[in-house]
Chain A
Amino acid sequence: MSVLMSTLDPRSAQDPMLPHPAVIESIKPEAYGISTFSLAFVDPAETAAYRFSPGQFNMLYLPGVGEVAISVCSDPGEPQMLGHTIRYAGGVTRAIGRLRVGDVVGVRGPYGSSWPLDNAAGKNLVLVAGGIGLAPLRPVILSVMRQRDQYGRVLLLLGARTPADLLYNEEIGRWREGGIEVHVTVDLADENWKGQVGVVPQLFYRIRVDPKQTLVMTCGPEIMMRFVIYEALARRIPKQSVFVSMERNMKCAVGFCGHCQFGPTFICKHGPVLNFAAIEPFFGKEDF
């Protein structure tokens, strides 16, 4: 499993656990209990140095409360403003939810692997997102739209529990205009919903893919990703062309705390974006 061995150079000798203060520039409610926080570093030197790739994440810190790993959901082309779509699920995220514009949070990052856009030129992309799993894929969409002619067909298969839970709803029109085919489904419709009802993997029934020319990138609940992989493999897309973004408990994000281990993988440094071929023996294993 040498594919997992990190090849990057050691970073600075400074303590990687130190947070860098950042100001909340805006808070945009996305759905019930979910908002997008846009952050800008206080220190201009941090802003100047910070670059991220689609799929990477930051550790957001509140003193006295704790730290949480959140994907960067904004445009990698504008790294001076870092978007984080946060669902209020635990102690830290709820405390972040009580903050206002102008408040300060600690940021360190970016960490982890990124979606394989560098190897995607000329390929068709199938992006499959469930719920807040769309957040780490949004930088892919925004990057693709900047250089749309670099890629073949780009499809977004998107699902949410209800229409009200759909993230970035007002942007979807722009994405379509930008050359992304968007298919949407919800688990539970309301009276105004005219679209598809059902689970995300079923959206594969509506599309045709060229298995040799397609990369699948998926993020969502693990059970959803399992069936997305199932549908992708059923269409003869090779395992090596399927990428998932995983989530585990994380305390350090730099490979020292041990919490995010998934077999040989540290989700923080080898992941969160992982090639399915590398993790297949462990993916979906009960209580692993």
Chain B
Amino acid sequence: MTPSLPRVAASVVIAKASLQKVFDNLRVSGFSLVGPTVREGAITLDEITQMSELPVGWTDQQSPGHYRLKQTREPQYFSYSCGPQSWKQYLHPSRLSLFSVEKENGNWRVQPARNLSPRYAFIGVRACDLSAIAIQDRVFMTGEFRDPHYARRRGPIFILAVHCTQPVSTCFCVSMKAGPRASGGFDLAVTELPDNFVVEVGSEAGSEMLRDTAWEPATAFDLGRAAQACARAEREMQRQMRTDDLPRLLYDNLDHPRWDEVATRCLSCANCTQVCPTCFCVTVEDHSNLAATAAERTRVWDSCFALDFSHVHGGNIRPTIRSRYRQWLTHKLASWIDQFGVSGCVGCGRCITWCPVGIDITEEVQAIRGKG
């Protein structure tokens, strides 16, 4: 007899339609579901309630500077790679009120912003993005200081991961050891097969959400097919990046002529930093009323590609695109490791796809490395 709920670390099989039951269970438990959905010609993230809101029958084509959706004949739910957005917009919002100040007779009242956030259930998190969340966990929750806003959002989330079976041409998660298979940090992880879902249970909460889904223990045959699907994704990965000589390679080549060359193509538009699931830089803005008796302080995403990012009295430290591109790349792949013990890159390929001129981070690193 099958027990009512699977054990943690067990793999089970559910009918595709049963995923809706998982969604319903999550909602009944108080979660707001966020998942991929088709909007304005791209697979974006938004609050969803129904399986039918997933990009059923859609896939994406990505290459440097190129992103298009295409309809497929198979009604698959997760047959695409990362869209332009990442989960960072929910955990580290692009705009967040920090506090407000009211002045009364020379006294200040400092009011921390309440910033209520729902308990999110993230649906369809890819391995690369799961790694990105783990990286931002280190950035915001492990230093001398903790970001209370991130910690409060991060704490209660539920993660339904999807093992990636369909990389696009800009992906290189295998090189960054971030995918295509999610190795942990999820509550449930799904491999989509043509006729059903193989589901790995990652936590008690995950097991709980499989209640009443008519799950069956996965057979060796199911597991074999799931493993094959991931193995094929790994084989099909077109791009790669050597990482064994990083960060040294970049530190030793801060004056490499390739920085000048890439600066002739880079528009310094900051797209790469905005789509990057790990880039965390922010600036702060103040808005006051006309009488200047009250002000609100807001944190917004910033980018090291912005000219005034490095402004100090007397000018900008990095006035050239060369210096700003170098800052981004060396931070992402080199100094990030010194700062947080891991690379800042997960190989999701978004910065390649969404670069308007198609600059390819893997190609730039290889160019600096040279023939060697």
Q: Which residues of A contact B (CB under 8 A)?
A: 1, 4, 6, 8-11, 13-21, 42, 63-67, 87, 89-90, 102-104, 106, 247-249, 251-252, 254-259, 261, 263-264, 266, 269, 281-282, 285-288
Q: How far is the CA of A248 from the CA of B304 in the complex (A)?
A: 13
Q: How far is the CA of A105 from the CA of B313 in the complex (A)?
A: 21
Are the C-beta atoms of B287 and A249 separated by less than 8 Å?
no
Q: Mark B269-291, 1 if CB is under 8 A from A, else 0.
A: 00000000000111110111000
Are the C-beta atoms of B317 and A287 separated by less than 8 Å?
yes
| B104 CB to nearest chain A CB (Å) | 11
Are the C-beta atoms of B310 and A106 separated by less than 8 Å?
no
Specify which of A4, A66, A106, A256 is in contact with B147 (CB 8 Å cutoff): A256
Interface status of B295 (Cβ within 8 A of chain A): yes
Q: 7 closest pairs, A vs B, by CB?
A: A64-B288, A258-B281, A264-B338, A287-B323, A63-B295, A89-B313, A64-B295
Q: How far is the CA of A50 from the CA of B245 in the complex (A)?
A: 45
Q: Which residues of B contact A (CB under 8 A)?
A: 98-99, 101, 103, 106-108, 110, 112, 139-140, 143-149, 151, 251, 254, 280-284, 286-288, 292, 294-295, 297, 299, 302, 304, 308-314, 317-320, 322-323, 327, 330-331, 334-335, 338-339
Are the C-beta atoms of A258 and B292 separated by less than 8 Å?
no
Q: Which residue of B lies closest to A65 (CB)?
A: B286
Are the C-beta atoms of A287 and B322 separated by less than 8 Å?
yes
Are the C-beta atoms of B110 and A256 separated by less than 8 Å?
no
Specify which of A4, A15, A261 is in contact with B99 (CB 8 Å cutoff): A15
| A272 CB to nearest chain B CB (Å) | 12
Further pairs besides A11-B144, A287-B322: 14, Cβ < 8 Å: A13-B148, A15-B112, A17-B284, A21-B110, A63-B288, A64-B286, A64-B287, A106-B108, A248-B312, A249-B309, A255-B145, A269-B145, A287-B318, A288-B318
Q: How far is the CA of A40 from the CA of B338 in the complex (A)?
A: 38
Are the C-beta atoms of A256 and B99 separated by less than 8 Å?
no
Using A256-B282, A257-B283 as known contacts, say yes or no to A1 and B338 having CB atoms under 8 A apart: yes
Q: Which residues of A contact B148 (CB under 8 A)?
A: 13-15
| A265 CB to nearest chain B CB (Å) | 8
Specify which of A13, A255, A288 is in contact with B143 (CB 8 Å cutoff): A255
Q: How far is the CA of A1 from the CA of B337 in the complex (A)?
A: 10
Q: Which residue of A lies closest to B303 (CB)?
A: A258
Sample (26) of A-B pairs whose CB atoms are under 8 Å apart: A1-B338, A11-B144, A15-B98, A15-B148, A18-B98, A19-B99, A42-B108, A63-B101, A63-B108, A89-B314, A102-B106, A104-B103, A104-B106, A106-B101, A249-B311, A254-B145, A255-B143, A255-B144, A256-B145, A257-B281, A258-B302, A259-B310, A261-B331, A264-B338, A287-B317, A287-B319
Are the C-beta atoms of B144 and A258 separated by less than 8 Å?
no
Are the C-beta atoms of B108 and A104 separated by less than 8 Å?
yes
Q: Which residue of A lies closest to B100 (CB)?
A: A63
Q: Which residue of A lies closest to B309 (CB)?
A: A259
Q: Which residues of B contact A4 (CB under 8 A)?
A: 338-339
| A118 CB to nearest chain B CB (Å) | 18
Q: How far is the CA of A266 from the CA of B309 in the complex (A)?
A: 14
Q: How far is the CA of A257 from the CA of B299 in the complex (A)?
A: 9
Are the C-beta atoms of B302 and A257 separated by less than 8 Å?
yes
| A22 CB to nearest chain B CB (Å) | 10
Q: How far is the CA of A69 from the CA of B148 in the complex (A)?
A: 22
Q: Which residue of A lies closest to B291 (CB)?
A: A64
Q: Which residues of B contact A66 (CB under 8 A)?
A: 284, 286
Q: Which residues of B contact A247 (CB under 8 A)?
A: 312
Q: How far is the CA of A65 from the CA of B297 in the complex (A)?
A: 10
| B145 CB to nearest chain A CB (Å) | 4
Q: Which residues of B contact A251 (CB under 8 A)?
A: 282-284, 302
Are the C-beta atoms of A8 and B144 separated by less than 8 Å?
yes
Are the C-beta atoms of B281 and A259 separated by less than 8 Å?
yes
Q: How far is the CA of A258 from the CA of B235 in the complex (A)?
A: 36
Q: How far is the CA of A87 from the CA of B313 in the complex (A)?
A: 10
Q: Which residues of B contact A286 (CB under 8 A)?
A: 323
| A34 CB to nearest chain B CB (Å) | 12
Report which residue of B282, B287, B334 has the largest number of chain A beta carbons within 10 angstroms of its beta carbon. Answer: B282
Q: How far is the CA of A106 from the CA of B107 in the complex (A)?
A: 11
Q: Which residues of A contact B304 (CB under 8 A)?
A: 258
| A206 CB to nearest chain B CB (Å) | 29
Using A247-B312, A287-B318, A288-B254 as known contacts, say yes or no to A106 and B284 having CB atoms under 8 A apart: no
| B115 CB to nearest chain A CB (Å) | 10
Q: How far is the CA of A226 from the CA of B151 in the complex (A)?
A: 41
